[in-house]
Amino acid sequence: MGRNIHFEIFRYNPQDTASIPRMQTYFLEETINMTLFIALTRLREEQDPSLVFDFCCRAGICGSCAMVINGRPGLACQTQIKNMPGHISLHPLPVFKIIGDLSVDTGVWFREMYRKTESWIHTRAEVDPTLEEARMDNAVAEEIYELERCIECGCCIAACGTANLRPDFMGAAALNRIARFMIDPRDERSEREYFDIIGTDFGIFGCMGLLACEDVCPKQLPLQDQLGFLRRKMGFAALRQIFKTSRPA
């Protein structure tokens, strides 16, 4: 027989004016290879169908199920109960708007991020796809994919000191997105254009370097390196601009 796991789960329904944020207690017997996906699904189906949380792929690929697990942002589907103490507390991610209980609105946040970063290839080239494709070094393709692995779960934003203080801070996910396009030879944006997007306190210069983003990233993206890379690049860009504007006309 497995352990009797004690869950404490944050409950709040913003649609219901009578709802007050609170913690609710549940118990569930542990079974072999149980993950938080299995546990929460069972709680909803066997004990409390009003419980709100998000799962989609349940395989650590889609990023739907990020939540604060015993004080740390992470993916619930990848969390194995056997690696956890017998008392598990679950909260929704901070920073994002709450939808209900453990579910937060990452969708709207990230769509706004695509708009802010102009998260697409900027090019004047007219490509005829019936002709042979432009060549690319395989190593470059792999480097781009390395940064494209972000699953937009929101853990890095929830764990970020700056984002928790200032809701308009872009956060590691957005800065990583910019880095992804900067190293892509197909994107023709100039340093100046990138600077206009992230060269502020809401962008790269707002980062306090606490680096919780990298610690909690479930995909182990090299966020520390990317933030360093962008800070150096944008720092030099700023100096060049100061130098240019202070030059006599």
Partner 1 sequence: MQVQSHYSDLLVIGAGLSGERAAAEAAAKGFSVIVLSIVPARRSHSSAAQGGMQASLGNSVMGEGDSPDVHFADTVKGSDWGCDQECARLFANGAPIEMRRLAAWGVPWNRVVAGRSVYFKGGEKFEKEEKKEKEGLITARAFGGTAKWRTCYTSDGTGHAVMCTMDNRCAELGITVLDRKDAVALIHDGMACTGAVVRCMRTGVLEEFRAKATVIATGGLGRLYKATTNAVICDGGGHIIALDTGVAPIGNPEAIQFHPTGIVPTDILVTEGCRGDGGTLLDVDQKRFMHIYEPEKAELASRDVVSRRMTEHMLAGKGVPSPYGEHLWLDIRHLGDRHISTKLREVDEICRHFLGVDPRKQLIPVRPTQHYAMAGIRTNKDGAVYGLKGLFSVGEAACWDMHGFNRLGGNSLAETVVAGGIVGAKIVEFLQGNEVAFSTAHARDALRKTEERVNSVATCANGRENVYAVREEMQQALMDGCFVFRNEADLQQCVARLQKTLDRARRVGLVSDGKGVCHELYSALRIEGQVKLALMIAKGALERKESRGSHNREDYSARDDKDWLNRTLAYWREGADMPELLYEDASPVFELPPGERGYGGGRIIPADPAWVAARTIK
Binding site for partner 1 (CB under 8 A): 13, 15-16, 32-33, 35, 38, 44-46, 48-52, 54-64, 78, 80, 99-100, 103, 105-108, 110-111, 114-115, 118-121, 123, 125, 127, 129-138, 140-142, 144-145, 148-149, 151-152, 184, 186
Eight-class DSSP state of 35: B
Residue with smaller CB distance to partner 1, 4 or 47: 47
8 Å CB contact between 160 and 208: no
* 184 CA to centre of own chain: 21
* 177 CA to centre of own chain: 11
Sign of the CA dihedral 222, 224, 225, 226? positive
Amino acid residing at 149: R
Shortest reach from residue 24's CB to partner 1, in Å:
14
Shortest reach from residue 190's CB to partner 1, in Å:
18
Residue with smaller CB distance to partner 1, 111 or 192: 111
Shortest reach from residue 128's CB to partner 1, in Å:
9
Shortest reach from residue 59's CB to partner 1, in Å:
4
Residue with smaller CB distance to partner 1, 115 or 247: 115
Q: Which H or E run includes 144?
A: helix 138-148
- φ, ψ of residue 166 to 5 degrees: the values are -130, 105
d(C-alpha 209, C-alpha 63), whole Å: 24
Shortest reach from residue 29's CB to partner 1, in Å:
15
Residue with smaller CB distance to partner 1, 50 or 245: 50
